[in-house]
Every structure is written in structure tokens, then in C-alpha cells.
Amino acid sequence: MSKNLSFCVVDDDDIYQYTIKKTIQSLDFDNSVIAFSDGEEAINFMIENLNKEDELPDIILLDINMPIMDGFQFMEEYIKIKPNLGKKITIYMVSSSVDNADLERAKKISEISDYIIKPIKRGRIQTIVDNLIANQ
């Protein structure tokens, strides 16, 4: 089954952005990827495109530790705009942090589908895509 999915990577690590984009693009789907270096850039993009379903991502891969606005601050703002979004977005918090405090904090946010420890392997991305397609 072929499905066009759009990903949004929110991470301040340029090397990670590059490798995750290549991993996503290597899947057998027509996946587009946009990237932002901090949560503020990403939330501003979401606000600018509230009712533009084609512009909004299907999946967000969100880092925790970033300058300007971190992943948890992004989620606070996202929850405020979520009722006005033109589509359902699936969010995965992706971090190198294995701190239980981060994991527990993420679990308490119902809008976060899962907490993934970096690096994300190709098979994990494939599973995310397969699950999203199966649940639509």
C-alpha cells in the first residue's frame, strides 16, 4: 500500500536531521520531510498553517533538549492550538535522554504517542508509518 505521509523533524542537531531525513526517504513510500531547529520555529509553522491540511505534517519527531523552545515547551503550545488544527498529527518524542524524569513527563502528555530513544532505526520508522496507515 502506498501512502503519502509528511514528517516534521524538530531537532537542533543538523547531523541527526540529515540522517533521519535520509532514513525516512529510504522507505518505500512517498514521504516528505520538513525540519526545524527548535520548537518555536515548528510551532510558528503550525500556527501559520492551522487550516492547511496539505502543509501540516502527519508525524512529528520531537527532540526534548533544544535552544529557544524545548520539546516540552513545544507540547505546551501545541496543546493550545490542537483544537484549531486542520488534521490529526501523531507526535513521537525522540531523545538521547534516558532520564526517567523525561520519560515520565512525556508519558503524562496524552498527545505524545511514544518516547523513542535515539538513534531511530529504519525499522522503527517503518513501524510508525505502518501503524499510522493501519489506523487511518
Specify if 61 maps to a domain. yes
Q: Say if 134 falls within a structural domain.
A: no
Residue 117 lies in a domain: no
Give me the domain span that covers residue 31. Answer: 10-85
Q: What pLDDT, on a 0 to 100 scale, did the predictor assign at position 90?
A: 96
Question: Which range is most confident: 26-30, 52-56, 107-111?
Answer: 107-111
What mean pLDDT is predicted for residues 101-106?
94
Helix (H, G, I), strand (E, B) or coil at 131: helix
Residue 3: is its pLDDT beyond 80? no
30 in a structural domain: yes
Burial of 81-118, coded b for 16+ CB within 10 Å and e otherwise, reads eeeebeeebbbbbbbebeeeebeebbeebeebbebbee
Residue 21 confidence (pLDDT) above 70 = yes
The amino acid occupying position 56 is L
The residue-averaged pLDDT of 30-54 equals 93
pTM comes to 0.94
* Rounded-to-5 percentages of helix, strand, coil across the chain: 40, 20, 35
Asked if the structure places residue 5 within a domain, the reply is no
Residue 39 domain-assigned?
yes
3-class DSSP state of 25 = helix
CATH number at residue 15: 3.40.50.2300
Taking the C-alpha atoms of residue 5 and residue 58, their distance in angstroms, rounded to an integer, is 6
Note the pLDDT of residue 118.
92
Asked whether residue 81 is assigned to any structural domain, the reply reads yes
- Do 111 and 75 form a contact (C-beta atoms < 8 A)? yes
Does some domain include residue 132?
no
- In total, how many domains does the chain have? 1
**For residues 61 and 92, what is the distance between their CA atoms, to the nearest angstrom?**
5
Distance, in Å, from the CA atom of 35 to the CA atom of 15, rounded to the nearest integer, reads 12
Return the C-alpha cell found at 82: 490542537
> Tens digit of pLDDT for each residue in 113-125?
999 999 999 999 9
pLDDT of 132 strictly over 70: yes
Whether the pLDDT of residue 1 is over 70: the answer is: no
